[in-house]
Amino acid sequence: MKSKILLFIGLAIAFGSCKTSKKTVAKESENQTVEILAVNDIHANIDNFPRFGFMVDSLRAIYPDLLLFSAGDNQTGNPANDQYSPKGLPMIELMNALKFDVTAVGNHEFDAGQKGFAFLTEQSHFPYLCANVSNYEASGIKIKPYHIISMDNGVKLAIFSLLSINSGGIPDSHPMHLEGLQFQRPENICPDYYDLAKKNNCDALILLSHVGFEGDVKLAEQAPQGSIDLIIGGHTHTTVKDEKYINNILITQSGSKLRYISLIKLTIKDKQVIGRSMELLPINKKGNERADIRSMVDKYNDNPSLNVTVAVAEDDFSSPDKVGYLMVDALRSKTNADIALINPGGIRIGYLDKGNVTVMDVYKMDPFGNEITLFNLTGEELKSLHISAFKSDVKSPMCPSGIQSVYTLNPDGSIKEIEFFTESGEPLDMNKTYLVAMNSYMSAAYRFDHKDPGKSLFRTTAESMIEYLKELRTIPSYRNEQRTKVIKE
Amino acid sequence: MKVIVNKKEIEIFNGAKVADAIRLYYSLKTKKTTSEFPIVEDAFGNGLDADGRLSEGDRLFIKENEDEK
């Protein structure tokens, strides 16, 4: 069937089909069909939009009333979009150009800050749905709990949306972006919408979910039979290849970053969904593209914001550790941590010339997209982290901010002792607990003792460094900085 | 938060992604993380991307080496 769809796409374009929506209202007893093209977690992967746009147009040639849904996290993950001014606008303009019908609010929609998100909702030609957030009106963010779509063929769809809430009671976004907003757990709110379709005389009830696949399974299991017909999901970047029914509810999700799209078909008769199907279609990197979308993407990728000077370095940085000290000073400053650390492998440039430092320079230093993590560590736990890191990093010390570290090695190169000192040279109080910032790679790759499980701040180290440098404006010389010492016995 | 990788419960920082859990799982097994991300599935046999966000109790299965399950 998939090959048939792809063949249809090719034929539709070859014969120059165009969208001609026919307004035909089916009689009550006739079967009516609804086709929905669903994506999720695009994460600003604008480079796949020209191909995606071609596929959307091609499918619209086959299904003139095709609906286009996003299950959230349209934003964050590509500097061309994230560093654009205004932040995130390229994604909105592309989604407008493709005529999205609706999107869920994903946790990363808040990454632009409430003012930024409000602006993006204002610019969007499609509604944002989320039923488990409240108190957002003052921020200007335009969100609806649900949306009703009345189609030309007479079918009415009720769509509501839910957002994942973490153990801290908020979505996975930096807490500073969520101040004043209130969130409720999706499983507590979901039952309020079971009768949404009936109340609004709709033919089907769709949950556009940014809860994650396993969460969607739980929501489906708790739903009464005949309430929810379909869950279009996102958040966990799950690629649901085959039709998955839980409690007679079809659950879909199409991976992430526009590598796949889900084509969903509903068959409706006498105001009941009598048939459902789903196909996962790949968006290949090569193939026909929509020319106008290609022009837009090329323009965004030629983003002058990436070449903007964020600070001026007063001196050359001539070694990776000096660059690393700058990176950890940024990390410590932006997190208010006592100590910040970076692994040698996390510093991707060995020098930085005196003069202008651009946004792109920061992404060259720190290209991985690692997120900031915070841990409360005792002195002994800090030592355990250093020992693990030293072993993993081919016996190179981490770059610190807030402390100095002295490694004494055995003749075989293993660690005999590590001592820590404050910035002023006093021995570090090993009985105290310190707030330590690092990147998410280090948090997972190093095997170290820690009672605090740690937490992500849901923003990248590179983004926080850009912000730090913009505030700093002038980067002082790090020429004489030496924060680690390795003594071989 | 606790997640399960190949039936082994691991504790990882809140807000971790699939790649973080796999990295931690490998570090606990003192196995080097390969540069190529392994095929990872959830408990329902769905594929998971490396940057998929995890929640408490999520179950992951690495498919690259069946005998590790």
A394 lies within 8 A of chain B by CB: no
Q: Which domain holds residue B51?
A: 2-68
Q: Which of B23, B30, B56 sits opposite A444 (nearest CB)?
A: B23
* Residues of chain A where predicted confidence (pLDDT) is lower than 70: 1-29
Q: Residue A421: how many CB atoms within 10 A of its CB?
A: 15
Q: B27–A445: do the CB atoms touch at under 8 Å?
A: yes
Number of domains making up chain B: 1
A361 lies within 8 A of chain B by CB: no
Which residues of chain B does A241 touch, with a Cβ-Cβ cutoff of 8 Å? 46-47
Q: B54–A236: do the CB atoms touch at under 8 Å?
A: yes
**Mutation choice for B interface testing from A76, A174, A177, A214 by most B CBs within 10 A:** A214
Q: Which of A256, A443, A447 sits opposite B52 (nearest CB)?
A: A256
Task: Please give the DSSP secondary-structure letter assigned to residue A477.
Answer: P
Tokens representing residue A465 in the block: 């460094």
Residue A394 has a pLDDT of 76
**Mutation choice for A interface testing from B25, B53, B54, B63 by most A CBs within 10 A:** B53
**Closest CA relative to residue A90, chosen from A288, A406, A304:** A304
Q: What is the distance between the alpha carbons of residues A87 and A177, in angstroms, rounded to a whole number?
A: 14
**Angstroms from B57 CA to nearest CA on chain A:** 9
**Angstroms from B63 CA to nearest CA on chain A:** 15
- Relative to beta strand B40-42, strand A260-269 is unpaired
* Residues in Cβ contact with A394 at an 8 Å cutoff, skipping those fewer than 6 apart: none
Q: Which of B15, B19, B56 sits opposite A456 (nearest CB)?
A: B15
Q: Residue A15: how many CB atoms within 10 A of its CB?
A: 8
The amino acid at A118: A
Q: What is the largest CA-CA distance in chain B?
A: 29
Q: Is the dihedral of CA B45, B46, B52, B58 positive or negative?
A: negative
Q: What is the distance between the alpha carbons of residues A16 and A8, in angstroms, rounded to a whole number?
A: 12
Q: B51–A237: do the CB atoms touch at under 8 Å?
A: yes
A252 to chain B: nearest residue by CA? Answer: B46
Which residues of chain A does B33 touch, with a Cβ-Cβ cutoff of 8 Å? 445
**Closest CA relative to residue A205, chosen from A249, A166, A173, A172:** A249
Whether residue B67 is predicted with pLDDT greater than 60 in this model: the reply is no
Q: A455–B11: do the CB atoms touch at under 8 Å?
A: no
Q: Which of residues 36-65 of A touch B (CB under 8 A)?
A: 41, 43
A239 lies within 8 A of chain B by CB: yes
Q: B53–A212: do the CB atoms touch at under 8 Å?
A: yes
Q: What is the distance between the alpha carbons of residues A401 and A381, in angstroms, rounded to a whole number?
A: 17
A256 lies within 8 A of chain B by CB: yes
Whether residue B68 is predicted with pLDDT greater than 50 in this model: the reply is no
CATH number at residue B38: 3.10.20.30
Which residues of chain B does A213 touch, with a Cβ-Cβ cutoff of 8 Å? 42, 44, 46
**Beta bridge partners of residue B2, listed in sequence order:** B11
Q: Which of B13, B27, B54 sits opposite A455 (nearest CB)?
A: B13
* Residues in Cβ contact with A179 at an 8 Å cutoff, skipping those fewer than 6 apart: A114
Element (H, E) at A209: strand A204-210
Per the listing, tokens 């026919």 go with: A22
Residues of B with a Cβ under 8 Å from any A Cβ are 1, 11-21, 23-24, 27-28, 30, 33, 42-44, 46-49, 51-59
Q: Which of B13, B46, B56 sits opposite A239 (nearest CB)?
A: B46
Q: B15–A237: do the CB atoms touch at under 8 Å?
A: no
Q: B46–A215: do the CB atoms touch at under 8 Å?
A: no
Residue A23 has a pLDDT of 42
**Angstroms from B37 CA to nearest CA on chain A:** 14
Question: What is the CB-side half-sphere exposure of residue A70 using CA atoms within 13 A?
Answer: 30
Q: Which of A236, A244, A444 sits opposite B16 (nearest CB)?
A: A444
Residue A7 has a pLDDT of 53
Q: What is the distance between the alpha carbons of residues A35 and A58, in angstroms, rounded to a whole number?
A: 13
Chains A–B, number of C-beta pairs less than 8 Å apart = 115
A255 lies within 8 A of chain B by CB: yes
Q: What is the distance between the alpha carbons of residues A185 and A167, in angstroms, rounded to a whole number?
A: 10
